[in-house]
Amino acid sequence: MKNSMTTLSITYREALNQGLREALQNDERVFLMGEDVGRYGGAFAVSKGLLQEFGEDRIMDVPLLEAGFVGAGIGAAMAGMKPIIEIMTVNFSLFAMDQIVNNAATLQHMSGGQLNVPLIIRMGSGIGRQLGTQHSHSWEPFYAHIPGLIVLSVGTHEDARSMLHAALQSHDPVLLFEYTMLLNLEKEIATDLPIASLSKAKVLREGKDISIITYGTGVYKSLEAAAELASVGIDAEVIDLRVLRPLDESTFLTSIAKTHRVLIVEDAWRSVSISSEVSARIMENGFYNLDAPVQRLCGIEVPIPYPVHLEEAAIPQKIDIISTVKKMIYRN
């Protein structure tokens, strides 16, 4: 629904759907393959209507065999197609991890540059709605560890609409983490978005007192926290990392040179996480710009429990961000 000439109101789900539709319209080589993407309309209704529009050669339902269809996607990409693979949720990507890590990420290198794998893998991610331990994993750090992969985190509606298009221009395998908790959320986005960057983090809110660095579902939580902090006179800058590999250091280092304080927020477990990496890079290259130690809000190191109060307590919430920032600022 258009509200003005320049913006429209859209859910995250619709934004993803439009991105997919555009990709399929733009390039005959593009096809979508995944469990229930066609007749069912997508496990989260992201691909709803696409089967009817593009036919079953381009919207392919596959059996439950993640290693098999991710491998097939790799083969099709090597042979000149532009496959978009949907793994229903990131939790099931572990079955395909060998294909992703040992083939998609390495074939270019092992072949001495003869081959490349322009494959897109989209995965439903995030924690919430009491889905229980096995359906509540945050595997961004796993994949961000692997040279050869481009790992993107779709934390905003703008990226939900435009990141796939950018990813399809890549000659290398791209993993897109999409966040199912955001699907029904409606936001205003520009009708004419620029081509998304595959290399840059984004400053979503400028501020001078502290840099909140985050990604995924941490983005809107951090923006809301920053808005509340503004009402008590704390001016927080919020950075969406967006590209978890290769990590864009310069954006957050520039921010820290201005704010001198850093809070990193993510759902993934604290140990060996994205925030560990960001923190280490700050130590290496931004240490002398810090007025206080880097602080982190991460997932509590427990298999994510079912009861709602425990689930909520296991990952950073807006209130945690606000209280941690206040502690950091008021310490001085």
Partner 1 sequence: MDAKKGLLLLYQMLLMRRFEEKAAELYTKAKIRGFHHLYIGEEATAVGVIQTLTDDDIVLSTYREHGHALARGIDPDLIMAEMYGKLEGCSRGRGGAMHLFDSSKKFYGSNAVVSGNLSIAVGMALASKRQKKNNIICCFFSEDDIAKCEFQEALNLAALWKVPVLFVCENNLYATGKAVRYSHTATELEKKGIASSSVDGMNLIKVMQAAHAVVGKIKSTGKPYLLICNTYRFRAYSLFDVELYRAKKKVEEWKRRDPIPQFEQFLLQQQWITENEIAAFENKIKTKIQKALDFAEEGAREPLMQLTKFVYSEI
Residues noted as catalytic: 66, 135
Q: Which residues contact 20 (CB under 8 A, 6 or more apart)?
A: 32, 46, 47, 50, 84, 164
Output the DSSP codes for 56-72: TTTEEE--S-HHHHHHH
Letter for the amino acid at 242?
R
| H or E stretch covering 123 | strand 120-125
Closest approach of partner 1 to the CB of residue 302, in Å: 30
Q: Which stretch binds partner 1 (CB under 8 A): 114-122, 124-132, 263-271, 275-283?
A: 114-122
Letter for the amino acid at 178?
E
Q: Could you tell me the two tokens for 317? A: 């919430």
* Interaction of residue 167 with partner 1, rule CB under 8 A: no
Q: Which one, 9 or 108, has the nearer CB to partner 1?
A: 108
Interacting positions 8-67 with partner 1 (CB under 8 A): 31, 57, 62-63, 65, 67
Q: Which stretch binds partner 1 (CB under 8 A): 4-12, 77-85, 261-269, 281-289?
A: 77-85
* Interaction of residue 326 with partner 1, rule CB under 8 A: no
Q: Which residues contact 262 (CB under 8 A, 6 or more apart)?
A: 210, 211, 212, 213, 252, 256, 279, 282, 290, 294, 295
Closest approach of partner 1 to the CB of residue 73, in Å: 6
Q: Which stretch binds partner 1 (CB under 8 A): 145-153, 249-257, 274-282, 319-327?
A: 145-153
* Interaction of residue 121 with partner 1, rule CB under 8 A: no
Closest approach of partner 1 to the CB of residue 55, in Å: 12
Interacting positions 218-277 with partner 1 (CB under 8 A): 246
**Which spans in the chain are helix H?**
12-26, 50-54, 66-78, 97-98, 107-110, 140-144, 157-167, 218-231, 249-259, 274-285, 308-314, 318-330
Interacting positions 85-104 with partner 1 (CB under 8 A): 98-99, 102-103
> How many residues in total does the chain contain?
332
Q: Which stretch binds partner 1 (CB under 8 A): 10-18, 111-119, 159-167, 278-286?
A: 111-119
> Exposed/middle/buried for 217, CB within 10 Å: 0-12, 13-18, 19+?
buried
* Interaction of residue 116 with partner 1, rule CB under 8 A: yes
**Positions in the binding site for partner 1 (CB under 8 A):** 31, 57, 62-63, 65, 67-81, 83, 98-99, 102-103, 107-116, 147-148, 150, 170-172, 246
